[in-house]
């Protein structure tokens, strides 16, 4: 079921990741990758967001003109496990209803490249989601980007903080592009239609 939100309220699309060049290509930073592509699509560049510990781009997604949806793309510049603070500050500053927040994040329990869109639910051990839910509740949208489980006995923390493998990188651009499409569909067409297209 789609949630009705106030007409004209902006959407806050949050790519989750860790700041700094050493983390840029990590599996845990796929949310940043999707946010960067969305910023490129709307012709914006990330800039520091006032007092919030985040970088933002403001723009519109969807058809040109007033029919487009107002969006704020955000990348928290705290570390992943502290994402809730910066996102909450942006939510308050831009007056975004919780149901208009979309978290784009890596998901261990889904095969690599597979997408799942949903509203609300648990955090499944994801520290970025845990921090956001603690800050303002769980009823926000998620675009979950599958990264699969660690091989062998590798620890989860080591796996998510490693770069995608060379074989994964061959398809990464395609999957990031598809995740950006899914975010746009969620914002412009609603959850159910976006799910029917992208929940493969």
How many C-beta atoms surround the C-beta of residue 109 within 10 A?
12
DSSP-assigned states of every residue in 2-69: PPP--TTPPEEEEE----SGGGTTBGGGHHHHHHHHHHHHTT---EE-TTSSEEEEEEEESSSGGGSE
Cβ proximity of 41 and 180 under 8 Å? yes
The residues, any chain, with a CB within 8 Å of residue 150's CB and separated by 6 or more, are 108, 156, 158, 159
141 as an active site residue: the answer is no
Please tell me the distance from the alpha carbon of residue 128 to that of residue 130, in angstroms, as a whole number.
5
Backbone φ and ψ of 119, nearest 5°: -115, 125
Query: Encoding tokens for residue 30?
Result: 């796929």
Cα–Cα dist 89/131, whole Å: 13
What is the CB neighbour count within 10 angstroms for residue 59?
A: 16
Residue of 28, 105, 126, 141 with catalytic role: 28
Q: Which residues are catalytic?
A: 28
């Amino acid at each position: 079921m789609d949630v009705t939100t106030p007409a004209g309220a902006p959407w806050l699309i949050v790519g989750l990741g860790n700041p700094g060049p050493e983390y840029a290509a990590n599996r845990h930073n796929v949310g940043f990758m999707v946010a960067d592509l969305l910023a490129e699509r709307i012709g914006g560049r990330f800039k520091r967001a006032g007092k919030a510990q985040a970088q933002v781009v403001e723009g519109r997604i969807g058809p040109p003109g007033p029919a487009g949806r107002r969006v704020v793309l955000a990348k928290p510049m705290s570390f992943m496990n502290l994402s809730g603070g910066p996102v909450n500050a942006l939510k308050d500053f831009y007056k975004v209803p919780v149901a208009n927040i979309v978290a784009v994040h890596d998901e261990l329990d889904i095969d690599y490249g597979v997408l799942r869109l949903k509203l609300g639910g648990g955090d499944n051990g994801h520290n970025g989601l845990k921090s956001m839910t603690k800050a303002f509740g769980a009823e926000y949208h998620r675009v979950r980007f599958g990264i699969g489980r660690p091989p062998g006995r590798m620890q989860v923390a080591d796996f998510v903080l490693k770069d995608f493998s060379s074989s994964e990188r061959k398809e990464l651009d395609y999957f990031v592009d598809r995740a950006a499409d899914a975010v746009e569909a969620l914002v412009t067409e609603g959850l159910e239609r976006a799910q029917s297209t992208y929940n493969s």
